[in-house]
Amino acid sequence: MTSMAVVELSRLQFALTALYHFLFVPLTLGLSFMLVIMESVYVLTDKPIWRVVTRFWAKLFGINFVLGVATGLTMEFEFGTNWAYYSHYVGDIFGAPLAIEGLMAFFLEATFVGMMVFGWDRMSKRGHLFTTLMVAVGTNFSALWILIANGWMQHPVGAVFNPQTMRMEVNDFAAVLFNPVAQAKFVHTVSAGYVMASLFVVGISSFYLLKGRHVELARRSFTVAAAFGLAASLSVVVLGDESGYTLGDNQKMKLAAIEAEYHTEPAPAGITVFGFPQYEGRTTTYAVKVPYVLGLISTRSLTKPVEGIYELVADAHARIVHGLVAYDAVEKLKVNPGDMAARAAFEGSKQDLGYALLLKRLVADPRQATPAQIDRAAWFTVPNVPALFWMFRIMAAIGFATIAFFATAFVMSTRHQFDARWFLKLSLWMMPLPWIAAELGWAVAEIGRQPWSVDGVLPTFLAASSLTVPQLWATILGFTALYGTMAVIEVRLMLSAIAHGPEPIEWGSAAAPLATPIDAGFAPVPAE
């Protein structure tokens, strides 16, 4: 077995590279659609100011987009480099959405983004709007396929273990495609991206309004983003509820951990708004509960109970014992593929094979496990309760705060009231929150799935590649240095692009002054 140090370092590297990648992706998702809205207004009204608005945000989009693409390269190959056994074990299912993402989404966004940036003078207005739309569609399709892949890890449907090839294989591709967890995740994630982009635009516009600079641009951008952000923030919270619902159906343990619900909550279950979950003592102290709410969210009824951690561990215990039958059958089939008795035993127990694999952390051959080891392995199925409890609550609080924020912003923009300094300042303070919520959301989803790489199918500690600790440190340090440098550069370029504002002369080319400014021919924007 691969050493736990290698497994933990592999997890660290994946978390670092994925969380970093996810700093840029949601902004791309949202900003691309906002560019479509702004450019549509330009095409429909033919007012030059909207061209200035679109091009300004497109410049910030470009600075952000490039890092999303660059760090996405790592993600596409990291399953193979660091999670080779995972890649073998579930590649038959998991590889397809990644490949389709490349074919259907990456090509679209990457090909059209070149024309979006370089093609302003080479196409008609409508032609250019079409390229911007294709970029937005491409980035959002890309999120769809990635979340179909991730949704399958959370809720593996449409696949079955094949002892001849020692891996999971697809038996129902439509089930993978229309996985309810994937659908909920997609809507929730792209909505979160729209919220992030809206706050980004509102924040920067507020900065300009506070300084009294580029006011015409700032007011228009503020108005677009306030409306878009209000719709998106409602969607993110309402459809976060939707993920809670499927979570209750498919991932009861994650829900119980998020709620720090150690014992089954009889119907109608109350939701724990606040409390102190104790990891070691396996209790939650000082819990403040709101009655009925949890039962409504996760079971959509007032009569079904929400299962607690103790009860779910007992279920896991039974599944481990049952899974040992499947494990034994697979070992026999390895030696003699024609063993009909083993084949029959496997068919009756295959859905619990993954649970038997949990024992491999304690004993090389799970069939030799003692009852005490089976007990311990059953408790492995509980993820980090306090971490999930708190991360989820912070994320949800941010979600509700953004609804209130955008509702206020929307009212202000419909009244053309852009001079409330307290609100403009608040916008600046709000700007980092969507990033915090998005990163926490990723962490809740992934930490909540532990100890599984694929829920109930493959434990994380078996999924890693057979690498060495020095190899992993080399790449972790390498990525940290590379990504750290790029983050510093990115932030500086963003800040100077914002400081420079939407003036029509390309500021970056000061060394080689331009003969003709970009927006030559347009009247200067009033009030600037």
Partner 1 sequence: MFDYEILRVIWWVLLGVLLIGFALTDGFDLGVAALLPFVARTDIERRQTINAIGPTWEGNQVWFILGGGAIFAAWPFVYAVSFSGFYLAMFLVLAALILRPVGFKYRSKRPDPAWRARWDWALFVGGLVPALVFGVAVGNVLLGAPFRLDSDMRSFYEGTLLGLFTPFSLVTGLLSVAMLVLHGAGWLSLKTDGAVRERAQAYGKVAAVLAIVLFAVGGAFVAKGGIGYRLVGAVDPLGPSNPHMATTVAVAGAWLDNFAAHPWMWLAPVLGFAGPVIAFLGISARKDALVFTGSSIANVGIISTVGLAMFPFILPSSIDAKSSLLVWNASSSAGTLFTMVICTVIFLPIVLAYTAWAYKVMFGRVTPAQIQAGADFY
36 counts as binding partner 1 under rule CB under 8 A: no
For partner 1, give the closer residue by CB, 93 or 239.
93
Contact string 370-399 vs partner 1 (x = CB under 8 A):
------------------------------
Please enumerate, as own/partner, the contacts of 121-126 that have beta carbons within 8 Å and a separation of 24 or more.
125/42, 125/43, 126/43
**Residues 6 or more apart whose Cβ sits within 8 Å of residue 368:** none
Residues 86-105 that bind partner 1 (CB under 8 A): 87-88, 91-96, 98-104
Q: Which of 489, 491, 495, 527: binder of partner 1 (CB under 8 A)?
A: 489
Q: With respect to partner 1, which residue has the nearer C-beta, 6 or 239?
A: 6
User: In angstroms, what CA-CA distances link 279 with 264, 283, 511?
Assistant: 17, 7, 60
Unique residue bearing structure tokens 């396929």? 145
Min CB(170)–partner 1 separation in Å = 5
Tokens of residue 284, six digits: 């939650």
Interface with partner 1, residue 85, by CB under 8 A: yes
Exposure class string for 374-385: b at 16+ Cβ within 10 A, else e: beebbebbbbeb
Site for partner 1 in 130-159 (CB under 8 A): 134
Phi, psi for 284 (deg, rounded to 5)? -120, 125
Smallest gap from residue 513 Cβ to partner 1 (A):
9
Residue 82 beta carbon to partner 1: minimum distance, rounded to whole angstroms: 7
| Residue among 234, 486, 487, 498 that touches partner 1 (CB under 8 A) | 486
Task: Decide: is 178 part of the binding site for partner 1 (CB under 8 A).
Answer: no
Considering only the stretches 78-86, 260-268, 311-319, 404-412, report the one whose residues sit in contact with partner 1 under the rule CB under 8 A: 78-86
Long-range Cβ pairs for the range 397-402 (8 Å, 24+): 398/433, 398/434, 398/436, 398/437, 398/440, 399/233, 399/236, 399/237, 399/240, 399/437, 400/237, 401/430, 401/433, 402/195, 402/199, 402/229, 402/233, 402/236, 402/430, 402/433, 402/434, 402/437
Among 338, 340, 429, 516, binds partner 1 (CB under 8 A): 516
Nearest CA-CA partner of 424 in 215, 233, 237:
215
Q: Rule CB under 8 A: choose which of 162, 285, 301, 336 binds partner 1.
A: 162
**14: how many CB neighbours lie within 10 A of its CB?**
19
Q: Least distance (Å) from partner 1 to the CB of residue 40?
A: 21
Of 62 and 386, CB closest to partner 1: 62
Q: Does residue 312 contact residue 385 with C-beta atoms inside 8 Å?
A: no
Burial (CB < 10 A; 0-12, 13-18, 19+), residue 476, is middle
Closest CA to 321 of 253, 360, 381, 375: 375
# binding residues, partner 1 (CB under 8 A): 84
Q: Are 384 and 392 in contact (CB under 8 A)?
A: no
10/85 Cα distance (integer angstroms): 12
Write down the residue that tokens 């692009």 correspond to: 497
34 binds partner 1 (CB under 8 A): no
| Shortest Cβ 133–partner 1 spacing (Å) | 13
* Minimum gap (Å) between residue 484 Cβ and partner 1: 13
For partner 1, the closer of residues 151 and 229 by Cβ is: 151
For partner 1, the binding residue among 391, 406, 465, 525 (CB under 8 A) is: 465
Q: Which is nearer to partner 1, 303 or 516 (CB)?
A: 516
Binding status of residue 77 toward partner 1 by CB under 8 A: yes
- Among 191, 206, 381, 475, the residue binding partner 1 under the rule CB under 8 A is 475
165 binds partner 1 (CB under 8 A): yes
**Which residue's CB is nearer to partner 1, number 345 or number 467?**
467
Task: Fill in the DSSP letter of residue 306.
Answer: B
Q: Does 187 bind partner 1 (CB under 8 A)?
A: no
Residue type, 378: A
| Interface map 320-359 toward partner 1 (x if CB under 8 A) | --------------x-------------------------
Give residue for tokens 């600037």.
Answer: 528
Q: DSSP label at 512?
A: S
Q: Using an 8 Å Cβ cutoff, are 474 and 82 in contact?
A: no
Burial class (CB in 10 A: 0-12, 13-18, 19+), 158: middle
491 touches partner 1 (CB under 8 A):
no
Q: How far is the CB of 116 from partner 1 (least distance, A)?
A: 10
Tell me how far apart the alpha carbons of residues 258 and 252 are, in angstroms, rounded to a whole number. Answer: 10
- Asked whether position 39 contacts partner 1 by CB under 8 A, the answer is no
Among 115, 144, 197, 320, binds partner 1 (CB under 8 A): 115
Binding partner 1 by CB under 8 A: which of 107, 178, 279, 473? Answer: 107
Q: Which residues contact 306 (CB under 8 A, 6 or more apart)?
A: 248, 252, 255, 256, 259, 261, 264, 265, 267, 269, 294, 295, 298, 299
Q: Which of 212, 266, 291, 517 binds partner 1 (CB under 8 A)?
A: 517
Q: Which one of residues 28, 54, 71, 154 is an interface residue with partner 1 (CB under 8 A)?
A: 71
- Is residue 514 involved in binding partner 1 (CB under 8 A)? yes
From 73, 273, 397, 488, residue interacting with partner 1 (rule: CB under 8 A): 73
User: Judged by CB under 8 A, does residue 471 bind partner 1?
Assistant: yes
